[in-house]
Amino acid sequence: MICGELPLQAGMRAENLFNILIRQHAEMLSAFIHAVAFDRSAVDDIFQETVITAWQRIEEFDATRPFGPWLRGIARNHILNTARGNRRYKAHLDELLQRRVDQQIDRINGSPGDTFADRLESLRDCIERLSPDAREAVDLVYVRGLDATAAARTLATNDETFRKRLYRARLALAECLRAKSIFVPATEVPR
């Protein structure tokens, strides 16, 4: 088996296998880049650069190891390269954060389900359990991509009120995901 994920069938071209692996990992890769890059305008570019680099370096891939972590490593390098030229990223890209995101995605990947979307069902369930105000705050920031100030304006509330609402929503999500053994609090992440 190639990286424990797909059987290599006789006559299957490397390009076909690569395309299958990329499709299989696209949602995970996008989630990883969103989590680490902190800038939606750069996500698509970094995603595309990652796929291109992975294709160019496919010969270096160790087929006995999982494809997802290798792909995230390439993405991390592109994010760091972007950060070197952009001060806004530098505050967000410490090594602990990267290890934390990797660990969380590995936990999601290890949960039951055939696809990354299936494995995110626990997150969807936890979001559904939030109060309507908390769900709306999560939607505005993490789905629609608004910053806290713009989200507060959208809801006709002040920044501090919105930030507290979002903070409480994050705490509730973290507790729900921790209870489902999906999330490890930052205090439990090995350094």
Q: Which of 92, 114, 136 is the last residue of a domain?
A: 114
Confidence of residue 166 (pLDDT cuts 50, 70, 90): confident
DSSP 189: S
Q: Which of 81, 114, 147 is the last residue of a domain?
A: 114
CA-wise closest residue to 106 among 15, 190, 19, 163: 190
Q: Determine the Cα–Cα distance for residues 57 and 50; give it in Å rounded to an integer.
A: 10
* Domain with 144 in it: 120-191
User: What value does the mean pLDDT of the chain take?
Assistant: 77
Same domain, 8 and 97: yes
Same domain, 88 and 163: no
Q: Determine the Cα–Cα distance for residues 104 and 184; give it in Å rounded to an integer.
A: 7
Tokens encoding 177: 């995901």
Domains of the chain: total: 2
* Tens-digit pLDDT profile for residues 73-103: 999 888 878 776 666 555 555 554 556 666 6
* Tens-digit pLDDT profile for residues 117-126: 666 777 888 8
Mean pLDDT, rounded, for 16-44: 82
Same domain, 75 and 2: yes
Same domain, 34 and 93: yes
Q: Determine the Cα–Cα distance for residues 80 and 92; give it in Å rounded to an integer.
A: 10
> Which CATH number fits the domain that encloses residue 191?
1.10.10.10
Same domain, 24 and 82: yes
List, in order, residues 6 or more apart from 144 with CB less than 8 Å away: none
Q: Determine the Cα–Cα distance for residues 21 and 5; give it in Å rounded to an integer.
A: 8
Per-residue pLDDT, 191: 43
User: pTM higher than 0.75 for the full model?
Assistant: no
Per-residue pLDDT, 55: 92
CA dihedral for 76, 82, 88, 94, sign (positive or negative):
positive
Confidence of residue 39 (pLDDT cuts 50, 70, 90): low
Q: Determine the Cα–Cα distance for residues 85 and 45; give it in Å rounded to an integer.
A: 15
Same domain, 108 and 35: yes
Per-residue pLDDT, 173: 83
Are the beta carbons of 166 and 142 closer than 8 angstroms? no
Q: How far is CA 159 from the centre of its chain?
A: 26
Per-residue pLDDT, 123: 80
Per-residue pLDDT, 103: 66
| 66: helix, strand or coil | coil
Are the beta carbons of 29 and 50 closer than 8 angstroms? yes
Per-residue pLDDT, 130: 93
Q: Which of 114, 132, 149 is the last residue of a domain?
A: 114
Q: How far is CA 173 from the centre of its chain?
A: 16
